[in-house]
Amino acid sequence: MNRIRVLMTLAGLALAVGLFFALRAPIDAFQGAYSRIMHVHVPTAWLAFLAFGVTAVGSIGWRLRKTRRWDRLAAASAELGVLFTALALITGSLWGGGVWGTYWDWGDARMATTALMFFVYVGYLALRGASPDRETAAARSSILGIVAVVQVPLVYFSVNLFRSLHQGQSIRPDGATMPTEMLVAMLVNVAAFTVIYIALLIVRMSVLKLEEQTAPVPTAAGAAVQPPQLGKALDD
Amino acid sequence: MSFWRQAGEFARRDLIAERRANEIVAIVVPFGAVALMTLPLALGIDSAVIARVGPAMFWVVTLLFAMQIALRHSAGDAPTHRRMISLLGVDPLARLAGRTVASSILLVAFMTVMFPLMVLFYNPELPPLWPLALIPAVLAAIGLAEIGTLAAEVTAGLRARSTLAPLLVAPLAIPLLIGGSQAMESLSRGGGILPWVLLVTATDLALAVTAAVIARPLEEASR
């Protein structure tokens, strides 16, 4: 319990530091105050990618080791990935409404592919929920967790691959396309949100473990039938 | 028995089961026709709009009903049957390939009925070279059958299967939907279909490679 308190305190501190930098950063001359949304939008989008990557790692780990820990990692990270993808879509849409004049644009490849990625992982969580037991859920969802991660690079590079309203990468090998002050604020927020993700991931994994420990163990032939106690019989 | 013989046997058995159950002809095709009729009824009598959205509606109906075809009861193996096939040492990929071939044939048959109905109900302006759009259409049908087969395997035996599988498939099938529908659009504008054929072919190949990689883990998972 203490560990969870420490983690949540760290997450709260990270959020406060991120908010401070976001509010102190200069605003864009053309976008106005809407540019501040980017300090939430970019970190949530990054965490969506990271979370689905971790889901794939957890899925591969489960397939190799077949231990519950890897499955809990995949499940917890997918839940957080869906949450952060939803936040990225909502904040992106709000920003688009103010700057582009439209909340949704079908011509924007990044928007459309992100929405598709969101629904694939909603399907992943639905598959886990529909499975009758933990092992079935882990076995089936691990396959989807590995296959679905292919979308992550597709979503990331969609702005380069397709004609799109969405701007390209802001940080490139030849330098950043934004002023240093804005870039620092954004990177601080990326780091802060990553701390929040790690804290939530650990907490969610702990909750999943507790759920597994407290869940009733199914019996094969009803509670009335007891397994034979061979050791005891031999002792007698 | 070679891989292709095994796959052929599975496809043949599936088609025989479908002929006996008559599920596609008796249920899925009439349901698809009703689905095609609902949009013009909902839109009213604006025939220009109806003509414009006809081909798109054809693809939406095809995508959604492809899941009905992939998940049809006549293609479902009982758990004991699946275990027996597994114990006999049948290649799991051959089973998936056979099922995909059968679903592709049935889906092409479904589309063959739906397309004239769409032309009848929506009266779209077809380009002179519209038969060329059949190439990406058939390729998209194969892709939909592939992805539907994989979803059917992942959700085998689950109670929520009939709703869960379309949720898994619909977002992943978008490249097929775009490739199939945009080929006709491109022909209408006097363009070619090659980019759309390539998009659908690449998707089909990616799905085939995915199936080859996950066939065995999928068989273990769905036991």
Share of chain B above pLDDT 90, in %: 40
Neighbours of B189 (CB within 10 A): 7
- Contacts A131 to B, Cβ<8 Å: 158
Residue with tokens 């032309």: B119
Q: Hey, is the C-beta of B79 within 8 angstroms of any chain A C-beta?
A: no
What's the pLDDT tens digit per position in B66-98?
988 888 766 556 777 777 888 888 888 998 999
Give the bridge partners for B19, in sequence order: none
Contact A140 B220 (CB under 8 A): no
- Find, among A163, A170, A142, A146, the residue nearest to A68 by Cα: A142
Tell me the C-alpha to C-alpha distance, in Å, between residue A54 and each of A57, A146, A161: 5, 10, 25
pLDDT, greater one: A81 or B178? A81
Average pLDDT, chain B: 88
| Confidence at residue A164, expressed as pLDDT on a 0 to 100 scale | 67
Identify the three-state secondary structure at position A172.
strand
Identify the three-state secondary structure at position A74.
helix
- State pTM to two decimals: 0.84
- Contacts B220 to A, Cβ<8 Å: 139
Is B116 a residue whose pLDDT tops 90? yes
Min Cα–Cα distance to chain A from B158, Å: 6
Lookup: tokens for A111: 């928007």
Is B59 a residue whose pLDDT tops 90? yes
What's the pLDDT tens digit per position in B11-30?
999 899 888 888 888 888 99
Lookup: tokens for A64: 């190799």
Q: What are phi and psi of A133, to 5 degrees?
A: -145, 170
| Confidence at residue B143, expressed as pLDDT on a 0 to 100 scale | 95
Return the amino acid letter for A121: Y
- Find, among B205, B153, B155, B154, the residue nearest to B176 by Cα: B205
Nearest CB to A130: which of B158, B218, B222?
Answer: B158
| In contact, A39 and A21? CB cutoff 8 Å | yes
- What pLDDT band is residue B204 in, cutting at 50, 70 and 90? very high
| Confidence at residue A161, expressed as pLDDT on a 0 to 100 scale | 67
Lookup: tokens for A234: 């031999």
| Confidence at residue A227, expressed as pLDDT on a 0 to 100 scale | 61
DSSP state of B130: G
Q: Please name the residues in contact with A51: beta carbons below 8 A apart, sequence gap of 6 or more.
A: A77, A78, A80, A81, A84, A197
- Contacts A127 to B, Cβ<8 Å: 154-155, 158, 164, 168
Residue-level length of chain A: 236
| Confidence at residue A163, expressed as pLDDT on a 0 to 100 scale | 67
| Confidence at residue A219, expressed as pLDDT on a 0 to 100 scale | 60
What is the rounded average pLDDT of the residues B46-56? Answer: 88
Stated as kind and residue range, the H or E segment containing A171 is strand A171-172
Residues of A at the B interface (Cβ-Cβ below 8 Å)?
Answer: 63, 116-117, 119-120, 122-123, 126-127, 130-132, 136, 139-140, 142-144, 146-147
| Confidence at residue A236, expressed as pLDDT on a 0 to 100 scale | 44
- Neighbouring C-alpha atoms within 13 Å toward the C-beta of A36: 12
Q: Alpha helix locations (H) across chain A? A: 2-24, 38-65, 68-99, 109-130, 134-148, 151-161, 180-214, 230-235
pLDDT in tens, chain A (236 residues): 688 888 889 989 999 999 999 888 888 888 888 889 999 999 999 999 999 999 999 999 999 998 999 999 999 999 999 999 999 999 999 999 988 889 998 878 888 889 999 999 999 999 999 988 888 899 999 999 998 998 888 888 877 766 667 776 676 777 767 778 888 889 999 999 999 999 999 999 999 999 988 877 666 555 566 666 665 555 44
Q: Give helix then strand counts, H and E, for chain B.
A: 10, 0
Lookup: tokens for A47: 């965490």
Contact A119 B171 (CB under 8 A): yes
- Contacts B172 to A, Cβ<8 Å: 116, 120
Q: Hey, is the C-beta of B174 within 8 angstroms of any chain A C-beta?
A: yes
| Confidence at residue B191, expressed as pLDDT on a 0 to 100 scale | 86
Q: How far apart are CA A64 and CA B194, in angstroms?
A: 41
| Confidence at residue B219, expressed as pLDDT on a 0 to 100 scale | 83
Q: How far apart are CA A104 and CA A101, in angstroms?
A: 9
Identify the three-state secondary structure at position A176.
strand
